[in-house]
Structure 1
């Protein structure tokens, strides 16, 4: 069973050690960089939600959700909406359905509107990341035609 858990003193090292494969590194920042971005977002009025993705009791991935992004170049959909800014499953746990199940849990969490109401969730992604695009589309996300920092923007009505 996939769950999203807060980063703690006990699980932080395991989360920092999770990595995607070499050929996927151009698609996602390291988890350490993402956690540092959380600090920057918080100190600039944003609301980040970083989680370790668990399969039962094993850390298998990381997700960083954001509401109220500030300090970044933003698509038109960004204001007062949620963003799945980072999502990764460790290379040794890929192709087991964990990413698909994690998306289900992520969207369930977002729909609780933990930082405020929203009409949409959006995700920036590299257009040549075909597995990610297919995953997002399977949950109803659709590209809105915007490209920010060489990343396509895909959007879901909540």
Structure 2
């Protein structure tokens, strides 16, 4: 069973050591970099939510959600919307359905509107990341035609 858990002193190293496969590294920042970005966002008025993704008691991935990002070059949909800014499943745990199960939990969490109401959730992805596009599309995310920082922007109405 997949769960989203806070990153703690006890699990942080395990989360920082998770990695995607070599051919996927160009698509996602390291988890350590992402957690550092959470600090920067939080101290600049944003609302980041970094979570460890667990399969039962085993950490298998990481997700970084945001709301209220300011001061960056962002797509038009960003203001007042939630964003799945980073999502990764460790290379040893891929192709087991964990990404799909994690997306269910991620969207359930977002739909609790933890920092405010929103009509949309958006997610950036590399145009050549066909696996990501397929996964996001299966949940109803659709490209809105924008490209931001060389990534396509897909949007879901909440």
For normalisation by structure 2, the TM-score amounts to 0.99
Matches within 5 A, 1:133-152: 133-152=133-152
Structure 1, unaligned runs of 5 or more: none
Structure 2, unaligned runs of 5 or more: none
Matches within 5 A, 1:99-118: 99-118=99-118
Instruction: Give the total of aligned pairs.
Output: 158
Q: Distance in 1 between matches of 2:150 and 2:123?
A: 13
4+ long deviations beyond 6 Å: none
Q: Which residue of 1 aligns with 2:20?
A: 20
Q: Distance in 1 between matches of 2:141 and 2:72?
A: 22
Q: Does 1:5 align with 2:5?
A: yes
Q: Deviations over 1:105-154 (max 9, x none)?
A: 00000000001000000001001000000000000000000000100000
Of residues 85-94 and 66-75 in structure 1, the stretch that sits farther from structure 2 once superposed is: 66-75
How far is the alpha carbon of 1:13 from its aligned partner?
A: 0.4
Secondary structure in 2 aligned to 1:145?
A: strand
Secondary structure in 1 aligned to 2:10?
A: coil
Q: Deviations over 1:76-130 (max 9, x none)?
A: 0000100000000000000000000000000000000001000000001001000
Q: Which residue of 2 aligns with 1:77?
A: 77
